[in-house]
Structure 1
Amino acid sequence: MYELKIALRQILSRKKQTLFAILAVALAVAVITVMMAMLSGFQDELVRSSIENNPHIVISPQDEGEEFIHLYRYTSALIAKKEGVIAVSPKYLGQAALEYRDNAEGVSLQGVNPESEENVMRVNKDVIEGDLLTLVHTKYGILLGDRLAENLEVHIGDLSLIHISEPTRLRRISY
């Protein structure tokens, strides 16, 4: 009981300092609470976007030396028939250089079927200009990220060159 009397005497004798200390602790608790709420929300958003922007299962060729899965249409059809499978989209990955006028950039190519890719990844909602599904009717169409298009100074409908290990072809731009 003696300790309580001493504590009360000290607290009441220095009212400004006591008020300042209480406000500082209250502010610190409020800041920590807000930060924890923000981090929790950020974590939920990060998990949601990671799940949404990546396929749940990726099937690669059996042998490391192979570049693609032979009979991929047949394999895709078999996978699509499995119970619980919502969508399947075959994809071919490769490296290339994309050139427009005097600008060139190294790129990672993803060859996709726009319709099946939209069912898996919901890409069209992130397209700024144009439409992913218009690539279905384009023989040599390509979809670019906004930063790549800005770096190349390229616009929708422009013709650009893609340099790959196969013969060079002109591609029409969509992003």
Structure 2
Amino acid sequence: MMGYEVGDKVVVEITEVDEKDKELTYGVGNPTWIRSKYILGKLSDFTKPKKIRFSKAEKKEFDDVFNALNTPWAILTRIEEQSGYYPNLYKRLFQTPTASKQSQSESQSEFVRVIEHPELIEVVKEKKYYIRILGQYLVHSANQKMGIELVSKEYADPFSLEQIREMNKWEKFKEIDLEKCKEAVKDE
């Protein structure tokens, strides 16, 4: 149960009204008047819009599609049809993992709120990691066939947790748990 303090303003569900005296004052704390199950939450929970977290890449894709189109249907359709151009938004809206707390329809509903109120977007800095293997660090290789190379830390590339999990599926890393090899990149 949520804790309340003196002076908190709360939203209450009224289930009955005394027909004789419709202006009867309800006594909070008196179980005959308002039970805690009818307190829906603090007023601030209902009045302050919740920020919606976007990665930097999602925000860039959002700005691009939002500036090009003007209706939620058109924007969602463009993202679905051009998933290669909007891979981060496509994944967020149409490939919600089953283990996620949010369903695909909830993700899309939340996104429509962002279309209506772009000021709700909060860009969060994605945590990055170096991957250390045998005293050296991974870097994206210029040689596409190799994919990655080992180098000294000064030349290492930072990877997101999502990239690390994706690389863990690669055949060349089937014997290594890259998540155990990660070192957090220090904020600059």
Specify if TM > 0.5.
Answer: no
Q: Which has the larger radius of gyration?
A: 1
Q: Which has a greater percent of helix? A: 1
